[in-house]
Amino acid sequence: MPPTYLKRKRRVHRWLMGAGVTLIVAAFALLGLSFSGVLDETASVGVPEPTSEASLSDASTSTGFSLDAARLQRLAQGQPTPVVTPVSTAPLDRLVIRKIGVDAPVVTLGLDGQGVMQSPSGPFEVGWYDFTAWPGTGGNAVFSGHVDYASVGAAVFWRLRELGPGDLVEVRLADGTSYQYLVVSSVSYTSGDAPIAEIVGPTGRESVTLITCTGTFNREIHQYSHRLVVRAERL
């Protein structure tokens, strides 16, 4: 072949190779951006972060309901005599719900001066109400915890809404005694229309009732519109 033709062919070949490398580099760059986008999106998937309302909640937010003295007396009178002798009289120690990552200390609560169920003083503790049944005695033991907390965000019962029938709830005493319960219901009530006697009163089967806030947060009164009530029955 003529030398001129060979030189021209080599120049064309080099140009094609250079263009091919450029296209390959560009393609990998585009793929790199796409993979980066997928990784960022995947990293954001998981447990929901606290909502903006969470930062507005504070220690004064009530996790329970209002109980006047007459209603409390009726509930106390309706609470049946324990039908089961408790295995242990050791103090309550912890509430454990493995599905939602709860392993929290238990404190004893009652009613405040206005007849409102007291709330735990910290974001990561659970309160047991002393006007309800003692766990292991055949009645309804009622607990509450915050869903969120000022300057903290998600609190102990942030994921309580994830519980459903068959999920396990465990109450542990200080001496290692453990009572286990299976969730049977999860219902949201407005704080003013909740059937309080059914929630905190006696039950036909030994139960634990867990209460926390849910619904819309009212910035003016620092309260949520609803209460989430989870009921579990003894195994």
How high is the pLDDT of residue 38?
27
Assign domain 52-234 to its CATH architecture: Beta Barrel (2.40)
Could you tell me the pLDDT band of residue 206, with boundaries at 50, 70 and 90?
A: very high
- pLDDT of residue 8 exceeding 80, the answer is no
- pLDDT of residue 109 exceeding 50, the answer is yes
Report how far residue 208's alpha carbon sits from residue 41's, in angstroms, rounded to the nearest whole number: 39
How high is the pLDDT of residue 47?
31
Please check whether residue 99 is in contact with residue 90, taking contact to mean a CB–CB distance below 8 angstroms.
Answer: no
Dihedral over alpha carbons 5, 11, 16, 22 (to 10 degrees): 180
- pLDDT of residue 52 exceeding 50, the answer is no
* Percentage with pLDDT > 70 across the chain: 65
Amino acid at 125: E
How high is the pLDDT of residue 102?
98
Nearest residue to 198 (alpha-carbon basis) of 118, 119, 140, 157: 140
- pLDDT of residue 144 exceeding 90, the answer is yes
How high is the pLDDT of residue 71?
57
More confident residue, 66 or 5: 66
- pLDDT of residue 54 exceeding 60, the answer is no
Return the sign of the alpha-carbon dihedral for residues 208, 106, 63, 50. Answer: negative
Residue 209's alpha-carbon distances to 7, 41, 206, in angstroms, are 88, 37, 10
- pLDDT of residue 67 exceeding 80, the answer is no
Please check whether residue 130 is in contact with residue 149, taking contact to mean a CB–CB distance below 8 angstroms.
Answer: no
Most confident of 47-61, 145-159, 186-200: 145-159
How high is the pLDDT of residue 78?
56
Tokens of 62: 């009530």
Average pLDDT over residues 136-157: 93
- pLDDT of residue 124 exceeding 70, the answer is yes
Tell me what the pLDDT averaged over the chain comes to. 76
- pLDDT of residue 12 exceeding 90, the answer is no
Please check whether residue 207 is in contact with residue 84, taking contact to mean a CB–CB distance below 8 angstroms.
Answer: no
71-81 pLDDT, tens digit each: 555 655 555 55
Domain ranges of the chain: 1-45, 52-234
How high is the pLDDT of residue 193?
83
- pLDDT of residue 34 exceeding 70, the answer is no
How high is the pLDDT of residue 126?
97
Residue in the block written with tokens 């009613």: 111
How high is the pLDDT of residue 76?
54
